[in-house]
Structure 1
Amino acid sequence: MNETAPLRRSFRLVCTPEQTPLVEELLTAQGFAFEPEPFSPLVRRLVREPFPLGRSLAAFWGYIYIQDRSSMLPPLALNPRPGDRVLDVCASPGSKTGLLAQLVGPTGLVLGNEPTRPRLANLRRNLAGLNLLQAATCSWPGEGLPLPDASWDAIQLDPPCSGWGTTDKNPQAVKMWQGDKLKPLIDLQRKLLAKSARLLRPGGRLVYSTCTTNVNENEEQVLFAVNELGLEVVPLPPFPGFVFAEPERPGCGGTLRVDEDASNAQGFYIALLHKPGAPKTAPTLSENIRSTASYRPLPPAFLKDFGMSPELLPPGELGIFEGSLRFLPAAALSFLPASLRWQGMSLGKASAQGAIPSPRLRVLLDPAPSRIPRLDLDDTAQLERLLQGVSFDTGLAGKEASLFWHGLPLGRLRLKNGRALWSEK
């Protein structure tokens, strides 16, 4: 066992502020120790890791997300407001998409776009595991996204790059990306920047970020955005807990270049850009996913049969689409065209007979369910055994129970003759 985790190993909390003490208590009960990171109240840094953090109970139920410290800075620099509509142009695996969704809150919308199908599946799986219902996804080449111009409040662009700042994980990155091999990357980054500038509404903000130290993919691209696309650099204050090197080109003051060694984090480059002009109201589209023949709406009241509360749903709709129970955010329904072929968050399985929410859909669990019993445990060892396939007697009647730990919602259990069983089905 590794008793002391590297100080660079960090994670973010994916919960409400009221749930934070319980999530921290759940981690502590399993032997983890951590301390706050100074750059965000959502982030913690490990100081003791008795076993891999990804196998913790908090990770299993989506209450934490392991992420490099530097990777969290771009969404924090973009700093969207609650209720904003945010586009993440190159989203997989969803680290930044998920943080953006936390920042915009349940009334906002984050659209995560990923052109590569295997990576798209990973993006959707990660967002669903975190219970971030305000996120939607699509799969298009970023430079060809069929979205209205001048309509997005904020855009995150973290394009494919050479990865020179990740040499601790990818030691061959600098050797792989040299000379002529870099030109297609740089060309693609400029195409993505140009498209993002068109999609951004006047007055909107765009973060351009990379995990490389290559000036041609960083400062030179910012100068392209300023001189060719008409965007303006918004100076970023340095984030506490990091050391930043000076930008390597005049005109890029206020952009941040993470000093990899001094910060004990990945090398990252972050630039915040602004589109000048008076803000305009984004168009409302009458065409949306509800017009497709394969979409069937569901009344939210059906959730009560599974120990969930319809009142906990964010603004939006529930429906069956392509064999899945999905949540469609209200902002997406009024804003995204059906021609985009986007998906709302998968909340479970569906068939012609009905829908079954995922056992790990914790965000909608009713603290006082009326139709199934509630089981509130206080022993993490019992939870661990449950996930290992060990059943135990509860004395409860019925076929299911809502599962809580010290009042923290976790998911739904199966009951068989009063014995609790964990099943992903």
Structure 2
Amino acid sequence: MNLPIDFIAQIHDLLGEDEANRLINSLQEPSPVSIRINPSKVNNAQLSTLNAQLKRVPWCNNGYYLPERLTFTFDPLFHAGVYYVQEASSMFLEQAVKQVVTNPVLALDLCAAPGGKSTHLRSLLPDGSLLVANEVIRNRSQILAENITKWGHPDVMVTNNDPADFAQTNVYFDFILADVPCSGEGMFRKDEGAIGEWSAANVEICRQRQRRIIADIWSSLKPGGILVYSTCTFNTKENEENVDWITRELGATTVNVQHESGIELVNDLTDKKLNVYRFFPHKVKGEGFFMSVLQKHPDDSFSPVMRKSSSNKKNKKVQTEEIIRSSYYKPEQDVLEQKLRVLQSGISLGTVKGKDIIPSHALAMTNVEQRNTYPQVEVTYEQAISYLRRETIVLDPTYPKGTVLLTYKQQILGFVKNLGNRANNLYPQEWRIRSGYLPEEVKALALS
């Protein structure tokens, strides 16, 4: 790995020679592989199996390290939303949420794609909470919507908006996660492309962009509300200096989060005591990560600056689609749906096509009781892969005709319409496995 000279110099200035060399050496080592289990789709017996076989991520109850990388594309359980492949350091979000969120909240994941932190956050929030998962880049917001759907929780809204758009809704959030775009230094060993894109000039561009994002969203945070600021980079410009800027310019205070050994708490950068958390790959089993939990002053005014939306597009609802409303449902949800570009909200039941009702894939993925009205058919691994490729499926003639849910290892994969001699595949076309081959050895998650 050929690291930029300016980056090496920056790390030496930050850590000193000995620590810097340890960090740089750790970047030559293989990246650890970690996953986070979906607690709504795995039972206690299966969790016991995982606990016996795998090492836990210390700061995440459902996080596990894998001894090797699985063939995730060819693991039906991955497509069923049983687990999410997520970098271990970023799972530290759990410690902050458990400490600062004790009642149902209106929460926003501002820069949410591809969805790792959103799915984690939704699993952690108390019942009765609503999560808005937002991504400004259109194609990334589609990936976010896919991962949210597979996770299966109904109390999530997926939006595709610029941070500045939220001010014109006059809706205030109790909790905002801002995992802001950054220079990506902490992901160098996972993504060599990040090395080629790195420069000192880009670090400065990122710092300014991050401040703009926080300034744009700050008025949408309730007085006394919590904002979690995080990056996957090492430098102080995008990390400590930005947190210091938030405290000075916006009047926030930082919150001390209880943490595990190896996670570096830094609170002496300035004359203020800032609580910020650094994850270095030579100290913890994970990639580079930075996080700070900030609280807005309780006396801050409830008067956001009204700004023109970056887009004049209105959210158009499909009239033939029926939605399961989130259990949170409150007037704020209506306002957000009217003011923002909403990709999905709640769980779609399906669409009307002629005389037929085509159930949505989201209904198959969720755990709400509606899906139990359909007969379920267990399929083999080969059939599961064919289904996920959106190929025609042939079922045993004794199985019931009509809409059927396919399961693999008792986990629901999705709907087919069984015609007897064949079954029409209702898996979303855009999500299908495009590869036509199978690896010689399939390495999948083992659940009892």
Class of the TM-score when normalised by the shorter of the 2 chains: 0.7 to 0.9
- Pick aligned residue for 2:398 from 395, 398, 417: 395
Q: Match for 1:391: what amino acid? A: V
Which residue number corresponds to residue 216 of structure 1? 237
CA contact (8 A) 1:233 1:272 kept: yes
Which residue number corresponds to residue 5 of structure 2? none
The offset of 1:97, in angstroms, is 1.4
Give SS of 2:92's match.
helix
Which residue number corresponds to residue 27 of structure 2? none
Give SS of 1:15's match.
coil
Q: Match for 2:238: what amino acid? A: E
Give SS of 1:263's match.
coil
Unpaired runs of at least 5, structure 2: 1-29, 305-313, 429-448
C-alpha distance in structure 2 between counterparts of 1:405 and 1:74, whole Å: 31
Q: After superposition, give the CA deviation of every residue in 1:328-358 in whole Å (9 maximum; x if it has no partner).
A: x556534525122323246476356464223
The offset of 1:413, in angstroms, is 3.7
C-alpha distance in structure 1 between counterparts of 2:300 and 2:125, whole Å: 19
Q: Give the 5 Å matches for 1:10-409.
A: 10-16=34-40, 19-22=43-46, 33-48=53-68, 51-74=70-93, 76-79=95-98, 80-81=101-102, 83-104=104-125, 107-148=128-169, 151-171=172-192, 173=194, 176-239=197-260, 242-244=262-264, 246=266, 249-250=269-270, 251-277=272-298, 294-296=317-319, 314-315=326-327, 330=330, 333-336=333-336, 338-345=338-345, 347=348, 350-351=351-352, 353=354, 355-359=357-361, 361-364=364-367, 366=369, 369=372, 372-376=374-378, 383=384, 391-393=394-396, 395-404=398-407, 408-409=411-412
C-alpha distance in structure 1 between counterparts of 2:137 and 2:126, whole Å: 27
Structure 1 pair 347–149 and aligned structure 2 pair: CA distance change class (3 A): closer
Give SS of 2:119's match.
helix
Higher relative contact order (CA closer than 8 Å, sequence separation 6+): 2
- Pick aligned residue for 1:424 from 422, 427, 431: 427
Q: Percent identity?
A: 22
C-alpha distance in structure 2 between counterparts of 1:341 and 1:7, whole Å: 37
Q: After superposition, give the CA deviation of every residue in 1:34-81 in whole Å (9 maximum; x if it has no partner).
A: 3322212221221255x4134222102111110101122235424444
CA contact (8 A) 2:359 2:415 kept: no
CA contact (8 A) 1:386 1:422 kept: yes
CA contact (8 A) 2:113 2:144 kept: yes
Structure 1 pair 365–229 and aligned structure 2 pair: CA distance change class (3 A): closer
State the number of aligned residues.
Answer: 382
CA contact (8 A) 2:394 2:421 kept: no
Q: Match for 2:33: what amino acid? A: R
CA contact (8 A) 2:320 2:351 kept: no
Provide TM-score, normalisation by structure 1: 0.76
The offset of 1:417, in angstroms, is 2.1
The offset of 1:393, in angstroms, is 1.5
C-alpha distance in structure 2 between counterparts of 1:174 and 1:262, whole Å: 21
The offset of 1:258, in angstroms, is 0.5
C-alpha distance in structure 2 between counterparts of 1:126 and 1:265, whole Å: 22
C-alpha distance in structure 2 between counterparts of 1:282 and 1:418, whole Å: 63
Provide TM-score, normalisation by structure 2: 0.72
Q: After superposition, give the CA deviation of every residue in 1:185-238 in whole Å (9 maximum; x if it has no partner).
A: 211211222233221111211100000101011000111111111000111222
